[in-house]
RNA sequence: GCCCGAGUGGCGGAAUGGCAGACGCGGAGGACUCAAAAUCCUUUGUUGGCAACAACGUGUGGGUUCGAGUCCCACCUCGGGCACCA
């Protein structure tokens, strides 16, 4: 940091000085454990240090350690949570704030396969690099609490939670009908003592051992089943519904995904569907995310109705049982098992052909709503239960096997799809509701119940017509759909033709992957099925092997079969162990858990990372995450992360947390009480004439035109990253300005929840601000403090207004406006020429959460010997927030014409008089008599003439 | 198609229904310098005017109000989510 050869003062706040200060203070914080937060009990316990302090659990969505390293877009949220954590510490809170790494999963494994390096090695190297880059930002993490999901001491508990889920069932009658997970042992006892009937009604003791096992396994919250799953040959594994994009490809790698029946592990998340929707009410999340979760879970109320047919009852799900009188045909999904039974000989060829065409289509093609309706008649009929009518049964690919029952009753007059289908194939469309006159008027047609004149189906509340039978169901004249549904459901239920029910879009969670880099299942098999290993055998270590590459296939080879890498390891898969029947051989489960497993519960482990007895001590969990008063669900006080996890991580982790809550392991109903979605940092990306991205850093701008190596390029805005060649490394910013400037810049460019473009040339503004603060307090030539005498009253008032505003902004995560106000204060100090000591201290404490290194350095220059980490944040004196006189703008007829200065405590009449006496007001009135004068105290005066 | 957001200077953005454009970048002018960089000072919504000042101005069109960027209605554009879900 020698400036001997230049004329820059030796103690100017330059990038070199900033780096010197930053590294020194980072070392100080590390060596003093400045950010270690005490627990109320356990290994990190310090009861005395906890006493009398409110808790604050601040959490970032932990990062995935990729090989590419960080760019300046990554730490936006981390800086925000750090500023907030530091502010809350100074406001007296006990703050739990740390960071771990989500390190199992496909990206690390794909990278390992590409490089030939074992994923354990590349993952460790990536984590080390990421820790280094993050450390340089000066984040105030409690480093004792950091975890890595790949650490056996961590995934031991991931496996333990899996076993808890495996060893539980969902008792829908528990907790006043809300339902609750309960230990599977309680289910077995209930079967044994007869208090719960077996599925087929036989006595439990008369079931064979295999039958008993199978009955119990069918109830588990984690279970193996043969079901349609998403098979991704390009990845060599199955993936969850949530990991398949809208166009039928894998979110990772963008490979085609095929629906195939396979035996896989599932998690019974659907048991929690209602609670996952209902408890959203308890959360401080944005409506956008809540809506996304509600849509994903997709709750719809309706009824199951059975239509008699030659193949037996065809069960359908409908949200409109009140429209049964309008059901004039049925449609089965082409894959429906009844199709074979219902198809008549003369329709056999047409049906077979349609089925094979449908099968060849990907889901994405079948789900294109704009496509013309296609379908084939099976040749058979079914009986409409409300009127005995024989209605034709068709198959069509707009009915999906995966939703509801894979069969629908078609009500063409009241459903757009059924209407189109009926028109297409000339099926009858009787009206069962009288649409209002406005409906006809909007469509420019005459009012008529002759649907051949209708351009489309009518959907909504309207009077029912032609909706009655001789058997007591009478809807005619009713106009309430709610009431119609209720009557229809009652009628169906009474005659055992159906019942009201709730259907969900949410499917059970496909939990197994045929890959290497994940948590092994703590499961072995005997000839009857899966057996959970005892807790004492945890962790089940991921076996060491150089043969970690998954067997992948041609991405389009739909009929290939997954092969787990672990399956190749005979020495590992075959195990001799005593599970209560004496030592014998078992075969291990060779799947691994999905990426999401480790992130489903990591916030709990942060609380008690070294506990070897339980995943988290109950008292510790209660302290950091327990409910805060009536109706509060408990959970992390502030969770910050990107919106991209709206339905994956955030749904899965809520589910796991609720299971742990039901089983009594945690006191919080929900893991994340307040969720905040930070925006993304966008950056300009440039394409040349071949549409290829060019290195954004080398693009020149002149007069609004962009060129790369002399050739014109076009600009677009996108997410910062390698693929757009527009990444800016934080290392460059540390070098040019230091970490405090980078932190301040990122916080100043906009509100936390907004995405904003990165502009390297703008960063200097925040560097100049820090230079000016420094220069106001420190002599640039000598490095000594240069402070002045007491400030005038206006400056003191400005200080207290600033303190007041900054506190409010910090509490609301409005860091950009907090910064603006501190810049204003500092600019006022610059004009003052010299800063008094007490004012300097207040300013330094206020900037400390945002730019902690320079603040610590100035704090120590101000004569303090220890860190300001826990020094109280300045408090405004209410008496100094008001001044004697107030300037008020005066409007005449709504236009601002003048300003008057009045005593702050002036009465409305005094303000009125002052306004009317003002020269400009008199001129604006031009002799007119005021009709009305509105005084808004402290704000404005409006004279209406 | 349905459901959410958001449209403010050249740019990022600020504004409990009460002086639109805080703060920063950029631009213009100046100081320092042999010069440049860095730094500092002044200025900067648009139009007209030497100026005081005036008119206009928050996507478009209406409305509510003493007063609207802010509230209501309709529309346009952009971003996001869901989508033949029965």
The tens digit of pLDDT for each residue in A724-767 reads 888 899 999 999 999 999 999 999 999 999 988 999 999 999 99
Q: Separation of CA A578 and C1' B52 in angstroms?
A: 99
**In angstroms, what CA-CA distances link A834 with A725, A828, A846?**
47, 10, 19
What is the domain-level CATH number for residue A893? 3.10.20.590
pLDDT in tens, A650-691: 999 999 999 999 999 999 999 999 999 999 898 888 888 888
From A503, A533, A548, the end of a domain falls on A503
Q: Separation of CA A467 and C1' B44 in angstroms?
A: 74
C1' of nucleotide B65: residue with nearest CA:
A894
Q: Separation of CA A323 and C1' B69 in angstroms?
A: 48
Q: Any idea which nucleotide's C1' is nearest the CA of A12?
A: B39
Q: Any idea which nucleotide's C1' is nearest the CA of A757?
A: B12
Q: Separation of CA A764 and C1' B54 in angstroms?
A: 38
A449, A365: one domain = yes
Query: Residue-wise over A113-135: b if at least 16 C-beta within 10 A, else e?
Result: beeeebbbebbeebbebbbebbe
| Token reading at A384 | 């409409």
Mean pLDDT in runs of 10 for chain A (945 residues)?
57 94 97 97 92 94 87 93 98 97 90 89 93 94 97 98 98 93 97 94 95 97 90 90 79 84 92 93 89 89 94 94 94 93 95 88 62 89 95 93 90 91 93 86 84 87 90 90 91 94 90 94 96 96 91 88 92 94 95 94 97 96 95 94 88 96 97 93 86 84 76 83 87 94 95 91 95 94 86 91 96 95 95 90 98 98 96 95 88 88 89 89 84 90 89
Give strand B nucleotides closer than 7 A to any protein Cβ.
Answer: 3-5, 11-16, 18-20, 22-26, 36-41, 54-55, 66-68, 80-86
C1' of nucleotide B24: residue with nearest CA:
A765
Query: Considering its fold, how many domains does chain A have in total?
Result: 5
Chain-centre distance of CA A290, in angstroms? 9
Nearest CA among A522, A527, A553, A551 for reference residue A538: A522
Residue A625 lies in a domain: no
Give just the sign of the alpha carbon dihedral A823, A828, A833, A834.
Answer: negative
Domain that holds residue A533: 162-272+508-581
C1' of nucleotide B4: residue with nearest CA:
A288
Question: Which DSSP string corresponds to A569-616?
Answer: -HHHHEEEEESSS-EEEEEE---B--TTTGGGSHHHHHHSTT-SSSSS
What is the domain-level CATH number for residue A405? 3.90.740.10
pLDDT in tens, A7-51: 678 899 999 999 999 999 999 999 999 999 999 999 999 999 999
Nearest CA among A678, A671, A594, A903 for reference residue A81: A678
How, if at all, do strands A523-526 and A299-309 pair?
unpaired
Q: Any idea which nucleotide's C1' is nearest the CA of A363?
A: B84
Q: Separation of CA A896 and C1' B51 in angstroms?
A: 21
- Percent of chain A residues topping a pLDDT of 70: 98
Q: Any idea which nucleotide's C1' is nearest the CA of A745?
A: B24
| Residue appearing with tokens 């105030």 | A140
Q: Any idea which nucleotide's C1' is nearest the CA of A924?
A: B54
Q: Separation of CA A804 and C1' B75 in angstroms?
A: 42
A864, A918: one domain = no
Q: Separation of CA A868 and C1' B14 in angstroms?
A: 30
A464, A564: one domain = no
Residue A491 lies in a domain: yes
pLDDT in tens, A448-467: 899 999 988 888 788 999 99
Backbone phi and psi for residue A656, each to the nearest 5 degrees, phi listed first: -60, -40
Give just the sign of the alpha carbon dihedral A497, A500, A506, A511.
Answer: negative
Query: Residue-wise over A891-915: b if at least 16 C-beta within 10 A, else e?
Result: bbeeeebbebebeeebeeeebbebb
Residue A268 lies in a domain: yes
Residue A761 lies in a domain: no
A920, A828: one domain = no
Q: Separation of CA A704 and C1' B24 in angstroms?
A: 21
C1' of nucleotide B1: residue with nearest CA:
A369
Q: Any idea which nucleotide's C1' is nearest the CA of A824?
A: B23
A231, A327: one domain = no
Q: Separation of CA A538 and C1' B78 in angstroms?
A: 53
Q: Any idea which nucleotide's C1' is nearest the CA of A296?
A: B82
Residue A814 lies in a domain: yes
Give dist(CA A396, CA A372) in Å, integer.
Answer: 11
Residue A129 lies in a domain: no
From A479, A503, A527, the end of a domain falls on A503
- Percent of chain A residues topping a pLDDT of 90: 66
Q: Separation of CA A892 and C1' B48 in angstroms?
A: 24
Q: Any idea which nucleotide's C1' is nearest the CA of A831?
A: B41
Q: Separation of CA A870 and C1' B81 in angstroms?
A: 42
Give dist(CA A538, CA A69) in Å, integer.
Answer: 33
A324, A468: one domain = yes
pLDDT in tens, A781-810: 888 998 888 888 889 999 999 999 999 999
Q: Any idea which nucleotide's C1' is nearest the CA of A646?
A: B81
From A581, A598, A614, the end of a domain falls on A581
| Token reading at A552 | 């992948």
Q: Separation of CA A178 and C1' B60 in angstroms?
A: 51
A443, A384: one domain = yes
Determine the pLDDT at residue A714: 82
Q: Any idea which nucleotide's C1' is nearest the CA of A750?
A: B13
Residue A65 lies in a domain: no
Give dist(CA A178, CA A195) in Å, integer.
Answer: 20
What is the domain-level CATH number for residue A798? 1.10.730.10
Residue A603 lies in a domain: no
């Amino acid at each position: 940091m020698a400036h001997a050869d230049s004329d820059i003062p030796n103690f100017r706040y330059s990038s070199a000085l900033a780096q010197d200060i930053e590294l020194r203070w980072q070392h100080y914080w590390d060596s003093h454990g400045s950010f270690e937060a005490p627990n109320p009990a356990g290994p990190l316990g310090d009861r005395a240090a906890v006493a009398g302090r409110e808790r604050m659990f601040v959490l970032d969505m932990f990062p995935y350690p990729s090989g590419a390293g960080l760019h300046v877009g990554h730490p936006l949220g981390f800086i925000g949570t750090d500023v907030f954590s530091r502010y809350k510490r100074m406001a007296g809170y006990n703050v739990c704030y740390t960071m771990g790494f989500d390190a199992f999963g496909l990206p690390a494994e794909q990278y390992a396969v590409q490089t030939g390096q074992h994923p354990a090695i590349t993952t460790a190297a990536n984590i080390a690099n990421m820790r280094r880059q993050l450390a340089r930002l000066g984040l105030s993490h409690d480093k004792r609490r950091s975890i890595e999901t790949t650490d056996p001491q961590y995934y031991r508990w991931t496996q333990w939670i899996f076993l808890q889920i495996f060893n539980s069932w969902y008792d829908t009658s528990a907790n006043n009908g809300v339902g609750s997970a309960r230990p599977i042992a309680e289910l077995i006892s209930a079967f044994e003592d007869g208090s719960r009937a077996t599925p087929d009604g036989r006595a439990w003791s008369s079931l064979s051992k295999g039958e008993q096992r199978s009955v119990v396994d069918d109830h588990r919250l984690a279970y193996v089943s043969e079901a349609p799953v998403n098979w991704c040959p390009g990845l060599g594994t199955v993936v969850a519904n949530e990991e398949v994009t809208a166009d039928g490809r894998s979110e990772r790698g963008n490979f085609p995904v095929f629906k195939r029946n396979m035996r896989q592990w599932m998690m019974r998340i659907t048991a929690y569907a209602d609670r996952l929707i209902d408890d959203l009410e308890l959360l401080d999340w944005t409506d956008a995310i809540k809506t996304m979760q509600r849509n994903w879970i997709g709750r719809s109320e309706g009824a199951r109705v059975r239509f008699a047919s030659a193949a037996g009852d065809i069960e359908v799900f409908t949200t409109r049982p009140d429209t049964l009188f309008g059901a004039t045909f049925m449609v089965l999904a082409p894959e429906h098992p009844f199709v074979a039974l219902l198809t008549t000989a003369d329709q056999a060829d047409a049906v077979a052909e349609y089925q094979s065409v449908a099968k060849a289509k990907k889901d994405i093609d079948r789900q294109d709503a704009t496509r013309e309706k296609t379908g084939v008649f099976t040749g058979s009929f079914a009986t409409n239960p409300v009127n005995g009518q024989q209605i034709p049964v068709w198959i069509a690919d707009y009915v999906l096997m995966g939703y509801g029952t894979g069969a629908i009753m078609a009500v063409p007059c009241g459903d757009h799809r059924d209407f189109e289908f009926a028109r297409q194939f000339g099926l009858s469309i009787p009206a069962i509701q009288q649409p209002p006159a406005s409906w006809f008027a909007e469509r420019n047609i005459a009012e008529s119940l002759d649907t051949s004149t209708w351009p489309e189906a009518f959907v909504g509340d309207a009077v029912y017509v032609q909706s009655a039978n001789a058997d007591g169901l009478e809807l005619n004249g009713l106009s309430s759909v709610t009431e119609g549904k209720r009557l229809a459901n009652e009628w169906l239920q009474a005659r055992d033709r159906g019942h009201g029910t709730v259907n969900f879009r949410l499917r059970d969670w496909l939990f197994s992957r045929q890959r290497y880099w994940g948590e092994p299942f703590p499961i072995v098999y005997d000839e009857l099925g899966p057996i959970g290993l005892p807790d004492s055998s945890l962790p089940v270590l991921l076996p060491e092997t150089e043969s970690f590459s998954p067997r992948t296939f041609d991405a389009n080879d739909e009929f290939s079969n997954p092969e787990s890498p672990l399956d190749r390891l005979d020495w590992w898969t075959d195990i001799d162990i005593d599970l209560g029947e004496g030592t014998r051989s078992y075969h291990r489960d060779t799947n691994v858990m999905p990426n999401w497993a480790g992130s489903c519960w990591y916030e709990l482990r942060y609380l008690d990372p070294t506990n070897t007895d339980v995943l988290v001590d109950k008292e510790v969990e209660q302290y950091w995450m327990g409910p805060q008063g009536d109706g509060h669900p408990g959970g992390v006080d502030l969770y910050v992360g990107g919106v991209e996890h709206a339905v994956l991580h955030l749904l899965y982790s809520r589910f796991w947390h609720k299971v742990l809550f039901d089983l009594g392991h945690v006191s919080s109903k929900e893991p994340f009480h307040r969720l905040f979605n930070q925006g993304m940092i966008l950056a300009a990306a440039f394409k040349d004439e071949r549409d290829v991205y060019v290195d954004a850093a080398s693009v020149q701008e002149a007069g609004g035109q962009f060129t790369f190596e002399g050739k014109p390029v076009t600009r677009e805005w996108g997410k910062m990253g390698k693929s757009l060649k527009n990444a800016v490394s934080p290392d460059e910013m540390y070098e040019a300005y230091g970490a405090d400037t980078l932190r301040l810049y990122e916080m100043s460019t906009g509100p936390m929840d907004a995405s904003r473009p990165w502009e390297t040339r703008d960063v200097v503004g925040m560097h100049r601000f820090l230079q000016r603060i420094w220069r106001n307090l420190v002599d640039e030539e000598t490095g000594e403090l240069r402070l002045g005498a007491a400030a005038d009253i206006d400056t003191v008032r400005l200080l207290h207004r600033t303190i007041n505003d900054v506190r409010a902004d910090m509490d609301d995560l409005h860091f950009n406006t907090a910064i603006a106000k501190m810049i204003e204060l500092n600019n006022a100090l610059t004009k003052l020429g010299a800063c008094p000591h007490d004012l300097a201290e207040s300013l330094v404490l206020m900037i400390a959460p945002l730019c902690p290194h320079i603040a610590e350095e100035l704090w120590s220059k101000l004569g303090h010997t220890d860190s300001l980490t826990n020094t109280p944040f300045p408090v405004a004196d209410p008496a100094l927030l008001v001044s004697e006189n107030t300037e008020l703008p005066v409007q005449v007829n709504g236009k601002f014409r003048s300003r008057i200065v009045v005593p702050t405590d002036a009465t409305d009449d005094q303000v009125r008089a002052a306004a009317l006496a003002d020269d400009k007001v008199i001129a604006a009135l031009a002799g007119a008599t005021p009709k009305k004068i509105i005084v808004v105290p402290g704000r404005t005066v409006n004279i209406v003439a």
